[in-house]
Homo-oligomer: A and B are copies of this chain.
Amino acid sequence: MKYDLIIIGGGPAGLTAAMYASRYKLKTLLITKIPGGIATTAHKICNFPTYEDISGFDLMKKMEEHVKKLNAEMIYDEVIKISNKFKVKTAKGKTFEAKKMILAAGTERKKLNIPREMELLGRGISYCGTCDGPLFRNKNVAVAGGGNGAVTTALLLADYADTVYLIYRGDKFRADPVWLSQLKGKKKIKQIFREDIAKLEGEKFLEAIELKSGKKLKVDGLFIEVGAIPDQRLISQLKIKTDSKGYIIADKQQRTNINGIYAAGDITNNSLKQIITACGEGATAANSAYQDLNK
């Protein structure tokens, strides 16, 4: 049996795409590893319009319930094989076929891979300055990383926090000149090079970090900005164009270079990776699929 549309990924982009596809009466299947995607791990979301303060878990649960009310078919499984014109095989051994496909599988944030990193997530550890920065007003925080993500996060945090330790294992930040010139004026930001974070301390919440050199820093927050990558296992099976960082290149209608494949949300080369932008892109992708199906 052939679907009109298969959506891979059940975060904000995938769920909104399913919502719109259902309302366009497309025969739609959504396949997702975890319901809600990575957004469920955000401990506090204050910037999804109409919700001043909600957990990622609660917000994504509401979104998923909305999709279920629209009778979209949704399975919890992982796509392990994907081929053009468009067949997928899942980890649970099922195969499905569709006329169109939306890739909305998001990214995985790179981790520091140190003890207690996951345990303290949402208890001082964060992967999103835009989301959680305002929580650290007048506190001391650290940022791990040296690219655009780390430097812009440090700059943003300097608007709230008293001190921002920007900790990078390299000799020189890899960020754009525009951000580096900004750094100079910011006395709140203490730059630390050739260091790694070795240990996290604190009982229920993060209280301090210990560097490889043995130096200890008292901080309430640690923003890990060492990069994110879309799942290359699926992308590499398609001849789909990505940018130099591995993100799928999508146009304003969320079309990719492959006819019939659309991409939405964090997996794409969009300029802002937020829940609300992912939702908008999901809706647009579903609309483009609907338009193309009717051609």
Contact = CB atoms under 8 A, between A and B. Distances in A.
A107 interface: no
A190 interface: no
A178 B295 contact: yes
Nearest to A284: B272
Interface residues of A, number: 48
Contact of A50 (B52, B59, B130, B295): B59
A281 interface: yes
A155 to B, nearest CB: 7
A69 to B, nearest CB: 5
A52 B130 CA distance: 28
A14 to B, nearest CB: 11
Contacts of A133: 23
A129 to B, nearest CB: 10
A182 to B, nearest CB: 6
Contacts of A24: 156
Given A281-B280, A283-B277, A49 B19 contact: yes
Contacts of A69: 52
Contacts of A51: 50, 66
A166 interface: no
Contacts of A295: 178
A280 B285 CA distance: 13
A48 B66 CA distance: 9
Interface in A254-295: 270-272, 274, 276-281, 283-284, 287-288, 294-295
A126 interface: no
Contact of A276 (B16, B62, B252, B271): B16
B134 A294 contact: no
A131 B285 CA distance: 17
Interface in A1-42: 12, 15-16, 19-20, 23-25
A16 B284 contact: no
A159 to B, nearest CB: 5
Contacts of A211: none
9 contacts: A25-B159, A50-B62, A52-B69, A178-B295, A252-B271, A270-B284, A271-B284, A272-B284, A277-B283
